[in-house]
Chains A and B, each alone.
Chain A
């Protein structure tokens, strides 16, 4: 069945350092979505990538979709304390399946 793997599970970075999380799907996706969940909150949509090889930027966040539409990454440049939370990728095949998420901790 459709599976989405995400690494790393946890990441501790010093404030100002960069952060990357990676996502891989067992099947080709029609699109991939990224969500952020703050501690105690619910997931909030960040972005959707549709095209093979697509790259999108939101301020310090850069999202990539692989050429084969089976993998994706999220890169945050110069992390800030407001970036704390868990970042989930979600693969949209015949249903939307979430990876297990990467929990980002920022050390001041």
Chain B
């Protein structure tokens, strides 16, 4: 597609339910990032993928959070047993950056985000 696509755009769920957030990056982009942004706050790093591998999962807040990427394309962020503090906008971004090409291009292209509200 022309840009990064995220779904759903809005999700309201009850505490304790599981949610899945999807990200379709720009075709050909090797790097994919997930960030969390609480209302009025900055971007909190969660995880990034280089291809289908996640070299750094250090930002995941707890073991309730997991993410995967397949086909060097779509990524899914899963939150199990949601809590009210999980309420936030989850932003996905992709980049043409490759660790192997030596390219220094790290510009991130963001999707519109998935707004999660946990009641």
Chain A residues near B (Cβ < 8 Å): 1, 6, 30-31, 33, 35, 42-45, 48, 50, 88, 90, 92, 94-101
Q: Is the interface of A mostly helix, strand, loop or mixed?
A: strand
> Which 10 pairs from chain A and chain B are nearest by CB?
A100-B42, A98-B43, A42-B110, A92-B106, A45-B107, A101-B42, A43-B110, A95-B56, A95-B48, A97-B45
A30 B104 Cβ-Cβ under 8 A: yes
CA of A99 to CA of B44, assembled, Å: 9
B35 A45 Cβ-Cβ under 8 A: no
In the assembled complex, which residues on chain A have CB atoms less than 8 Å from the CB atom of B105?
48
- Check B112 for interface membership: any CB of A closer than 8 A: yes
Contact of B91 among A43, A45, A92, A95 (CB under 8 A): A43
Q: How many A-B contacts if CB must be within 8 Å? A: 55
> Could you mark each residue 26-49 of chain B with 1 if its beta carbon is under 8 Å from any beta carbon of chain A, else 0?
000000010100000111010010
Q: Please, how many residues of chain B have a CB less than 8 angstroms from a CB on the other chain?
A: 23
- Check B74 for interface membership: any CB of A closer than 8 A: no
Contact of A96 among B33, B58, B111 (CB under 8 A): B33
CA of A81 to CA of B16, assembled, Å: 43
B43 A48 Cβ-Cβ under 8 A: no
B104 A31 Cβ-Cβ under 8 A: yes
A42 B113 Cβ-Cβ under 8 A: yes
A96 B48 Cβ-Cβ under 8 A: yes
Contact of B56 among A6, A48, A94 (CB under 8 A): A94
In the assembled complex, which residues on chain B have CB atoms less than 8 Å from the CB atom of A33?
106-108
- Check B109 for interface membership: any CB of A closer than 8 A: yes
CA of A43 to CA of B93, assembled, Å: 10
A48 B111 Cβ-Cβ under 8 A: no
A99 B42 Cβ-Cβ under 8 A: yes
